[in-house]
Structure formats: C-alpha cells, structure tokens
Amino acid sequence: MAAEIIDGKQIAGRVRIAVARDVEAFTKEFDGARPGLATILVGDDPASAVYVGGKQKACKEVGMEGSNFPLPADTAREDVVALIERLNADPQVNGILLQLPLPEHLDGVELTGMIDPGKDVDGLTPVSAGLLALGREGLRPCTPAGVMTLLEAAGAQLEGAEAVVIGRSNLFGKPMAQLLLGANATVTMCHSRTRDLAGVCRRADVLIAAVGRAKMVKADWVKPGAVVIDVGMNRTDDGLCGDVDFDAVSEVAAAITPVPGGVGPMTIAFLLRNTLQAARMARGT
C-alpha cells in the first residue's frame, strides 16, 4: 500500500490565500490599517536569519506590515527587554516574534515571557501556554496548529483515536499534545526516557515525530493505516530529511507528510494567521 502524501505546501498555500483575503477585509474595515508583525533577531546565526527573512517576506505577500529589528549577538539583556517593551506599547505592532535560539547569555524563555500575550504570535508565552492547557481561546504555537490543519486535510479521525507524539519540547511536543487532547484524542507523549518506544508508536492511529533524529521512525514502528506526521528537519549528507524513514513508512501508513514540503510550510502560514488574529483581538473583534 502506498500512503497518501499530505501536501503541506499546497495546504499552506490555501491558508495564506485565506489570510490575504481576510487582511484585505481587515484593511477595508479599519480605514487602511494593516496587521503588523515585528521580528527580533539577535545575533548572526545564518539559519535564523533565513527564517526571519522568510517570515518578513510572507508578511508582505499577504498585505501585512513587517518590520525586523536586528540586534548584535552581544546585546545586553536590558536592551532586548527595552525593545520588547517598546514593541508591546506600539499600537502599529500586532505581533512580536523573538527568533530563537538566542545567544548563550540570553534566556529565551524569560524574554519570550515578556512579550504582551495579546501579541504573542508564536504562542510561546506562559499565558498562551496556560490558555491552551485550560482549553481557553488564545494564540496557539504555529507548528502544532499547522499540524492540526494537516490532520484535518488528511481526514484523520481524532476523536477517541490513539495519538502518539514523540518529543516533549515547549515549542512543539507539549502544545501538540494539548491540541490533540482538545480534539478528544487519547494522547501519549514519548521522549528520550520512554521504554519500548517502538511498541508505544505501534499503538498509534496518529503518529507525530518531533525529535531531530534522521529517519528514526521505522516501518515496523507504524500501525498499518496510521496517519504519520513528520516534524523533524535534519540536515544529512543526502540533504534535508525528517525523523521518519519516509520510503519504508509510506508502504505501511495511510497518509504521511514529506520532508521538505510537509509540516515546514504550515509554520509560516500559521504565523500569518496568528498575526491577523492578534490584530483583530487588538481591535476587539
């Protein structure tokens, strides 16, 4: 059996078209105002610079205002705090994104926590995490929110299903588990200390891997007919690959995301969606 390939690029394209349409409606409704995203990039990590550049470009493509605030790698904590406070107070800025990871001397969790929760388009502040845990409305982390849309597009039945998430990061694994729980799946979270990882994975109707280990998930870890989402992005000698052994698992799963072209494109699409949502929240709509 060859699995259906879940085309994240195409699905993300649809999300972006919908956001662009809604941005136009927002601009008409609010006398030409445009939702605005501010990104903060500390240091000169080339991968982070590429990510921030992509986010800014995507912003402009859907008609939003984008502004980037680059800071040198040795910026003092107080200066980053001052910038976050300035952006928190700026009514033109609806979304603030502090690009992670930060240089060693800065604490990403502490600084992210200083972003106004109403502008937390990455959904990573303690307030956003708390709202998600409580099942209350709020800004959701972009990658797990994007995965929920991929699962819907693949026709995955979540209610009552066994969902297994490998990886328990604050950025992805924990919010992913919360979203699945909110959709009434029975959720198991796995991590580096999980006993019999393969056995736990084999129970999954929906298997989501976010580890950062190339091709770790093998075909005999996957229940026939499962939906498999590969969040991993690993650079190998053969190029970019995911955490799932794609070719072999495709023979067992009902549906699977490729890497690249699966989860990756959803992250930026949901950042745009969150920025629009934050702009609407700021206007009380």
Q: Which residues bind ligand NAP (CB under 6 A)?
A: 143, 166-169, 171-173, 190-194, 197, 210-213, 231-234, 263-264, 267
Instruction: Work out how close the CB of 105 gets to ligand NAP at its nearest, in angstroms, rounded to a whole number.
Output: 20
Marked catalytic residue, from 55, 174, 215, 223: 55
Find out whether 271 and 121 touch, Cβ atoms under 8 Å. Answer: yes
Instruction: Work out how close the CB of 168 gets to ligand NAP at its nearest, in angstroms, rounded to a whole number.
Output: 4
**Dist CA 196 CA 152 (whole Å):** 29
Cβ distance to ligand NAP smaller for residue 34 or 223 = 223
Cβ distance to ligand NAP smaller for residue 168 or 218 = 168
Find out whether 112 and 131 touch, Cβ atoms under 8 Å. Answer: no
Tell me if residue 99 is catalytic: yes
Find out whether 248 and 215 touch, Cβ atoms under 8 Å. Answer: no
Instruction: Work out how close the CB of 174 gets to ligand NAP at its nearest, in angstroms, rounded to a whole number.
Output: 9
**Dist CA 255 CA 6 (whole Å):** 6
CB half-sphere exposure, 229, CA atoms < 13 A: 34
CA 12 from chain centre, in angstroms, equals 12
Cβ distance to ligand NAP smaller for residue 80 or 231 = 231
Residue 185 token pair: 């799946």
Query: Which residues is 70 bridged to in the sheet?
Result: 41
Instruction: Work out how close the CB of 175 gets to ligand NAP at its nearest, in angstroms, rounded to a whole number.
Output: 10
| Overall residue count recorded for the chain in this entry | 285
Cβ distance to ligand NAP smaller for residue 84 or 166 = 166
Marked catalytic residue, from 120, 122, 243, 245: 122
CB half-sphere exposure, 23, CA atoms < 13 A: 24
Cβ distance to ligand NAP smaller for residue 103 or 108 = 108
Instruction: Work out how close the CB of 102 gets to ligand NAP at its nearest, in angstroms, rounded to a whole number.
Output: 14
Find out whether 59 and 108 touch, Cβ atoms under 8 Å. Answer: no
Q: 35 in helix, strand or coil? A: coil
Position of minimal CB gap to ligand NAP: 169
Instruction: Work out how close the CB of 170 gets to ligand NAP at its nearest, in angstroms, rounded to a whole number.
Output: 8
Tell me if residue 178 is catalytic: no
Cβ distance to ligand NAP smaller for residue 163 or 190 = 190
**Dist CA 90 CA 80 (whole Å):** 15
Q: How many helices (H) and strands (E) does the chain have?
A: 10, 11
Marked catalytic residue, from 99, 116, 120, 277: 99
Tell me if residue 277 is catalytic: no
Alpha-helix residue ranges (DSSP H) falling in 203-252:
246-250
DSSP output for 269-280? HHHHHHHHHHHH
Q: Show which residues are catalytic.
A: 55, 99, 122
